[in-house]
């Protein structure tokens, strides 16, 4: 066996049984292995072939936040891998009536081969993972959205042919999405500029962690307030809603704060001519992005959405296989 094959086998063995909570927990090599696996699984699915390493296995899916892409992609992904997925809302579980996360995790681990959770507080995922004896996957928290970021980096690799050295410009709120994108950019040696209004910057601890990782991979990460500066010479422009789930009461205030941060035809003129436009969806057309951009020739939003299926299948197969 070649040294590269041995290295890949070592990575594969090292992933089995792990949790997937934030990208920072994984090495650049492990993340790239997962992306390459996602691309391979996508090719298998497109060819009509079957690959079912999770036959007979079950994934519990806890949803405390509503979802379109997360629920459908995980449920279909488990089916395609030969397993089954159980949808569990907060009202379906005893945690809605006061049972501790620890007791829930311990109990569900006796029935399931893996748990995915989409929730508000990041500490909920941490507590669930501490109590569980099966892999726990973060489907979204207020701090991070790692599965979406993996799908995003997969599609950038597919469109551009490489990751290292590319520049991503993120325009908007310093939320869970930008945190995961920053973690990924730092791991892959990419350059990232984040433009956000004062008071809406990414979490300081997350940013510091990303700066430290970036120093090791040759990446550069910058947080600024000028969207034009951020998108200058960008290979990718990314945005997200100005008010995330749970922030609806702040919507009017945020619309005012972010009024100069819309991604529109005037702003994207400063990016590279072959830039990609990305949005994790759902989008509020006419707010964070103009219809002309989100529906334009540079937009790859539905490629991103599709890759949620393939990226998550890679995570499921690697952790639960």
What pLDDT score does 244 carry?
Answer: 80
Using a 10 angstrom Cβ sphere, with 0-12 exposed, 13-18 middle and 19 or more buried, the burial of residue 110 is exposed
Under a CB-based contact definition with an 8 Å cutoff, are residues 200 and 226 in contact?
Answer: no
Strands 167-171 and 136-140: unpaired
Residue % of the chain over a pLDDT of 90:
90
pLDDT of residue 293: 98
Domain 146-304, classified CATH 3.40.50.1370, yes or no: yes
Read off φ and ψ for residue 236, nearest 5 degrees.
Answer: -135, 135
Q: Is the dihedral of CA 101, 103, 109, 112 positive or negative?
A: negative
The predicted structure's pLDDT at residue 1: 60
> Is it true that 3-144+307-320 and 146-304 share their CATH fold?
yes
**Mean pLDDT of the region 146-173:** 98
Question: Which one of 118, 122, 279, 310 is the catalytic residue?
Answer: 118
Summarize pLDDT for 5-60 with one digit per residue, the tens. Answer: 777 889 999 999 999 999 999 999 999 999 999 999 999 999 999 999 999 999 99
Rounded Cα–Cα distance for residues 313 and 148 (Å): 12
Nearest partner of 19 among 165, 126, 161, judged by Cα: 126
Q: What is the pLDDT of residue 98?
A: 80
CATH number of 3-144+307-320: 3.40.50.1370
> How far apart are alpha carbons 229 and 3 in whole angstroms?
44
Decide: residue 91, CB within 10 A, 0-12 exposed, 13-18 middle, 19+ buried: exposed
Instruction: Report the pLDDT value the prediction gives residue 193, as an integer from 0 to 100.
Output: 98
Q: Tell me the mean pLDDT in the region 98-107.
A: 92
The reported pLDDT for the residue numbered 243 is: 87
Name the active-site residue from 69, 80, 213, 280.
Answer: 280
Does the active-site annotation cover 118?
Answer: yes
pLDDT tens, residue by residue, 63-85 = 999 899 999 999 999 999 999 99
In this prediction, residue 96 has a pLDDT band, given cuts at 50, 70 and 90, of low
Tell me: the pLDDT tens digits for 185-212?
999 999 999 999 999 999 999 999 999 9
Find the catalytic residue in 69, 122, 308, 310.
308
Contacts of residue 60, defined as CB under 8 A and 6 or more positions apart, other chains included, come to 85, 86, 88, 108, 111, 112, 114, 115, 116
Residue 92 pLDDT grade (very low, low, confident, very high; cuts 50, 70, 90): confident
Q: What mean pLDDT do residues 112-122 have? A: 97
Q: Which of 65, 180, 79, 183 is nearest to 117 (CA)?
A: 65
Closest CA to 134 of 159, 100, 110: 110
Rounded Cα distance, 230 and 113, in Å: 43
CA distance 298 to 231: 14
Paired sense of beta strands 167-171 and 236-239, if any: parallel
CA gap 33, 50 in Å, rounded: 21
Domain spans, the chain: 3-144+307-320, 146-304
Q: Which helix (H) or strand (E) holds 131?
A: helix 122-131
User: H/E element holding 139?
Assistant: strand 136-140
pLDDT for 95 equals 76
Residue 308 annotated as catalytic: yes
Instruction: Work out the end-to-end distance of the chain between its first and last CA atoms, rounded to an integer number of angstroms.
Output: 22
Does residue 280 carry a catalytic annotation? yes
């Amino acid at each position: 066996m070649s040294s590269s094959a041995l290295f890949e086998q070592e990575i594969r063995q090292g992933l089995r049984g792990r949790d997937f909570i934030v990208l920072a927990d994984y090495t650049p090599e492990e993340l790239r292995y997962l992306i390459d696996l996602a691309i391979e699984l996508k090719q298998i699915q497109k060819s009509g072939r079957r690959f079912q390493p999770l036959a007979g296995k079950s994934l519990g899916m806890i949803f405390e936040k509503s979802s379109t892409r997360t629920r459908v992609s995980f449920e279909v992904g488990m089916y395609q891998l030969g397993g089954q997925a159980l949808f569990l809302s907060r009202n379906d579980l005893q945690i809605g009536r006061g049972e501790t996360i620890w007791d829930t995790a311990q109990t569900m681990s006796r029935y399931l081969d893996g748990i995915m959770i989409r929730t508000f507080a990041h500490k909920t995922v941490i507590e669930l993972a501490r109590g569980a004896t099966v892999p726990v996957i973060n489907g979204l928290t207020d701090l991070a959205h790692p599965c979406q970021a993996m799908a995003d980096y997969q599609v950038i690799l597919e469109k551009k042919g490489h990751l290292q050295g590319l520049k991503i410009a993120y325009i908007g709120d310093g939320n869970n999405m930008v945190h995961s994108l920053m973690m990924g950019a730092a791991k892959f040696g990419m350059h990232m500029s984040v433009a956000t209004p004062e008071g809406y910057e990414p979490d300081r601890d997350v940013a510091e962690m990303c700066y430290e990782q970036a120093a090791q991979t040759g990446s550069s990460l910058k947080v600024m307030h000028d969207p034009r500066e951020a998108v200058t010479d960008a290979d990718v422009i990314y945005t997200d809603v100005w008010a995330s789930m749970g922030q609806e009461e702040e919507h009017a205030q945020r619309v005012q704060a972010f009024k100069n941060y819309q991604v529109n035809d005037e702003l994207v003129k400063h990016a590279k001519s072959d830039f990609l436009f990305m949005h994790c969806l759902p989008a509020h057309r006419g707010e964070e992005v103009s219809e002309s951009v989100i529906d334009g020739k540079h937009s790859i939003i539905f490629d991103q959405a599709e890759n949620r299926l393939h990226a998550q299948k890679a995570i499921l197969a690697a952790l639960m296989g």
